[in-house]
Amino acid sequence: MKEIAASLGLAKVSPGAFGNGVIATKGEILTSTSPITGEALGQVQCADAQSYEQVIKEAQDVFLEWRKVPAPVRGELVRKIGEALRDSKHSLGKLVSAEMGKILPEGEGEIQEAIDIADFAVGLSRQLYGKTMHSERRDHRMYEQWHPLGIVGVITAFNFPAAVWAWNSMIAAVCGDVVLWKPSELTPLTAVAINSVCREVAKDSGFEGVFSLLVGSGPELGQKMSADKRIPLISATGSCRMGRSVAKTVGERLGRCILELGGNNAVTVLPDANLDLVMSGVLFGAVGTAGQRCTSIRRALVDQSIYDTFVERLRSAYKQVRIGNPLEKGILMGPLINEAAVASYRAAIEKAVQEGGEVVFGGKVLSGMPSSLYVEPTIIKAHAGMSLLKEETFAPILYVVPVKDLDEAIHLNNDVPQGLSSSIFTRDLSSTERFLSASGSDCGIANVNMGTSGAEIGGAFGGEKDTGGGREAGSDSWKQYMRRQTSCINFGKDLPLAQGIVFS
Ligand code: UN1
């Protein structure tokens, strides 16, 4: 296991503070442990107060120059980063799997997601369009332009230790910003490795400091960044609790934030659905990444007429899931991230049973595995009144709820605090359109005949309500990483006032 980290050039104790080069720190030593075997993968020396200041100062200095580099030239740097990520896709993907515990195809998939957003950002670097408006005043022209913003603080979670950073930083870099990354304390090695790949490329162009990194061992570092006025934008991914605290602190100083928080995603299954598609979609959505995606399927809202068939077929599909070392071929589900996650898994199942739910598959922590973090994917027959259905448990637990019609399904889909992702399986056009309409799903993502997870980078990613309202990655998410400026130019000989005001 340790060889994986070593193959990427990671030292026994990696530095945890990078600005325009490595910054000395006397912070505590953080050990990264693989959930696969429980064995230590390597260590990182965390940032301390002094290195924090140094990194911010260097980032500020780099920004002053980087913002003047033409956007397509910034895009060229990001293009090279995409190439470097391609070259290291396998080794970085393996490190993601080793440190986070997701299966290798998903670990590599995550690096692919980083490559995809780099490619997207390269194109975007020539498309940071502003609008031109017709002025109401004679001989005036009005237009808007987009300028770089400054330091973008990116706080990422353990479950996507590479891709979410890339969504933010590839876009921020072409926008002329510099990025300060605070990774999860559970996946610091992935961050150090990815950051060094990018910095190596950036160094050649003289802009190594566009990508800074600070590793911390707890929530303090994220809090410090959130309170820091020198960071105009904080983009944070994680729990609703973390998001509330970040939003409060950033809001206090009237900063900007992009939040991508919890999901409690439901799939609606109507009687006319193609059940083969449903099974593949639900299996990947609920069991993939051991249920540790914010987009994982947590609830299946199934028409009562096909409820029993759905449960039976899904049980058969779950029986085929091979659980084990996620680096081994053919394994579909690896471990949970840590003991706390296993405890939440147990607690949720216990509560489900207390509330009248029936475990029809799984429900147990597995013994005889390489670590104590392997659990069974679990199907629970549930009913709409269970309070647990409104909570997100970051584990492979699926609640299957019978519904009488589409209206009830939409009601239940929306009747939770979170609003990230949703989907419907049907062949009926009216049901599809109703689900996607203004009175349909209230989520940031609404899919048809596919699951709720595995979004492509081209769309804006994020959701409503307790999910935080932020949007990252594609579409026009880039606008949040820039400051908009509206300009009006008078090329005439008079100075007419708007709204027809005469001031004389
Ligand atoms: C997350 O879990 O925070 O849509 C991000 C997906 C992935 C990203 C998930 N592309 O499932």
pLDDT band at 8 (very low <50, low <70, confident <90, very high): confident
- Kindly name the residue from 106, 260, 408, 472 that is annotated as catalytic: 260
Q: What is the pLDDT of residue 4?
A: 80
Which residue CA neighbors atom 1 of ligand 1 most closely?
294
Residue 437 CB burial class (10 angstroms; 0-12, 13-18, ≥19): exposed
Q: Which atom of ligand 1 is the closest one to the Cα of 294?
A: 2
Q: What is the C-alpha separation between 311 and 398, in angstroms, rounded? A: 11
pLDDT tens per residue, range 414-435: 999 999 999 999 999 999 999 9
Q: What is the pLDDT of residue 231?
A: 98
Could you tell me the distance, in angstroms and rounded to a whole number, from the CA of residue 160 to the centre of ligand 1?
7
Q: What is the pLDDT of residue 205?
A: 87
SS3 call for 267: strand
Q: Which atom of ligand 1 is the closest one to the Cα of 421?
A: 4
Q: What is the C-alpha separation between 388 and 405, in angstroms, rounded? A: 22
* Average pLDDT estimate for 210-236: 97
Q: What is the C-alpha separation between 116 and 121, in angstroms, rounded? A: 9
Ligand 1 pocket test: which of 154, 235, 297, 453 has the largest number of ligand atoms within 8 Å of its C-beta? 453
Q: What is the pLDDT of residue 2?
A: 72
Which residue CA neighbors atom 3 of ligand 1 most closely?
294
pLDDT band at 197 (very low <50, low <70, confident <90, very high): very high
Please report, as a single letter, which amino acid is at residue 247: A
Residues in contact with ligand 1 (CB, 6 Å cut-off): 113, 159-160, 164, 237, 293-295, 453-455
**Residue pair 466/457 in contact by the 8 Å Cβ criterion:** no
Which residue CA neighbors atom 6 of ligand 1 most closely?
454
| % of residues, the chain, pLDDT over 70 | 100
| % of residues, the chain, pLDDT over 90 | 97
Q: What is the pLDDT of residue 337?
A: 98
Buried b (16+ CB within 10 A) or exposed e, 102-134: bbbbbbbbbbbbbbbbbbbbbebbeebebeeee
Does the annotation count 294 as an active-site position?
A: yes
Q: What is the pLDDT of residue 9?
A: 82
Could you tell me the distance, in angstroms and rounded to a whole number, from the CA of residue 435 to the centre of ligand 1?
22
pLDDT band at 132 (very low <50, low <70, confident <90, very high): very high
Ligand 1 pocket test: which of 96, 100, 293 has the largest number of ligand atoms within 8 Å of its C-beta? 293
Q: Which atom of ligand 1 is the closest one to the Cα of 157?
A: 3
pLDDT tens per residue, range 351-373: 999 999 999 999 999 999 999 99
- What mean pLDDT value characterizes the chain? 97
Could you tell me the distance, in angstroms and rounded to a whole number, from the CA of residue 165 to the centre of ligand 1?
12
Q: What is the pLDDT of residue 5?
A: 80
* Average pLDDT estimate for 344-352: 98
Could you tell me the distance, in angstroms and rounded to a whole number, from the CA of residue 503 to the centre of ligand 1?
56
Ligand 1 pocket test: which of 155, 158, 292, 294 has the largest number of ligand atoms within 8 Å of its C-beta? 294
Would you say residue 1 has pLDDT above 80?
A: no
Could you tell me the distance, in angstroms and rounded to a whole number, from the CA of residue 453 to the centre of ligand 1?
6
pLDDT tens per residue, range 297-313: 999 999 999 999 999 99
Least confident residue range of 199-208, 272-281, 332-341: 199-208
Would you say residue 128 has pLDDT above 80?
A: yes
Taking each continuous run of H as one helix and of E as one strand, the counts in the chain are: 14, 24
| Alpha-carbon torsion angle 113, 118, 122, 123, nearest 10 | 10
pLDDT band at 471 (very low <50, low <70, confident <90, very high): very high
Could you tell me the distance, in angstroms and rounded to a whole number, from the CA of residue 455 to the centre of ligand 1?
6
Name the nearest CA neighbour of 392 among 264, 283, 226: 264
pLDDT band at 19 (very low <50, low <70, confident <90, very high): very high
pLDDT band at 89 (very low <50, low <70, confident <90, very high): very high
- Kindly name the residue from 46, 198, 294, 443 that is annotated as catalytic: 294
**Residue pair 334/101 in contact by the 8 Å Cβ criterion:** yes
Domains of the chain: 2-127+145-261+468-482 (3.40.605.10), 265-448 (3.40.309.10)
Does the annotation count 46 as an active-site position?
A: no
